[in-house]
Amino acid sequence: MLVTSLARDLYDSVAADRDPDPGAHYIRRRWLVGVFLVIGAVVLGISLRVEPGDAAFYPLTIGLAAVWIVGAFVSGPLRLGAFSPTPSRPPDRIGAIGLGVVVGLAVGGAFVVGGLVARMIPGVSDLANQVLAFADFGSLAVVTAITMLNGLAEELFFRGSVYSAARPHNPILVSTVIYVLVTMASGNVMLGFAGAVLGTVCAILRRSTAGVLAPAITHVIWGAVMVLALPPVFA
């Protein structure tokens, strides 16, 4: 009941959006977002097609994070956002941080539970293992750090720049669909499914807090859970 109530409150709440894009700046943001989307999709597709253990994986994934981060800051201003768990307390960044942590742990836990079921389905299990195989090679600490860095970078770009560029045309739906399409450049359906779920959750957080802080924390925590908890589930 508590989780359901929180989800309903988050979806129903609409925080004041403080970064409108007037006139030419709005058009410029959309053009830049489009350019970096293409670049990022190409780099993502290449990085997840290298063999696990390939030395090129690290520079490619770090390069992908750089693409998203540069694209986010070049295309326009970003806002951290704020949140309040109670009506009596004014929204602040501490609230946004707490919200991001709670939602990140909840979504990560849900994926672990889902993994317990998915591992018994041969086709689904194989797709998941294709991605998780990268955690079995090299340093686990490095893979975890890169995963968290990419999670942060993706939120700055997709829930920051792409979300803002999509307004006023249902930015939750548009930013999530674009996120899934780019993720599918990897050629892995499981990543596309994960992108649809995580993208929707993070877009709702963006909408509810008017910023990227809460969704970024959620994505970073979710990424850490995936790298650290899922490989033993599918082992």
CA gap 206, 212 in Å, rounded: 6
- pLDDT attached to residue 24: 63
pLDDT digits (tens, 9 = 90+) for 14-24: 565 555 555 66
For residue 172, give Cα distances in angstroms to 2, 40, 60.
23, 20, 28
CA gap 106, 230 in Å, rounded: 15
Domain ranges, ordered by start, for the chain: 23-78+92-234
pLDDT digits (tens, 9 = 90+) for 101-152: 999 999 999 999 988 888 888 777 777 777 776 666 777 888 899 999 999 9
- pLDDT attached to residue 158: 97
pTM: 0.88
Q: Which two tokens stand for residue 216?
A: 């970024």
Average pLDDT over residues 178-207: 90
Query: Residue 2 belongs to what H/E stretch?
Result: helix 2-12
pLDDT digits (tens, 9 = 90+) for 35-83: 999 999 889 888 877 777 777 888 999 999 999 999 999 998 899 999 9
What is the pLDDT of the chain when averaged over all its residues? 85
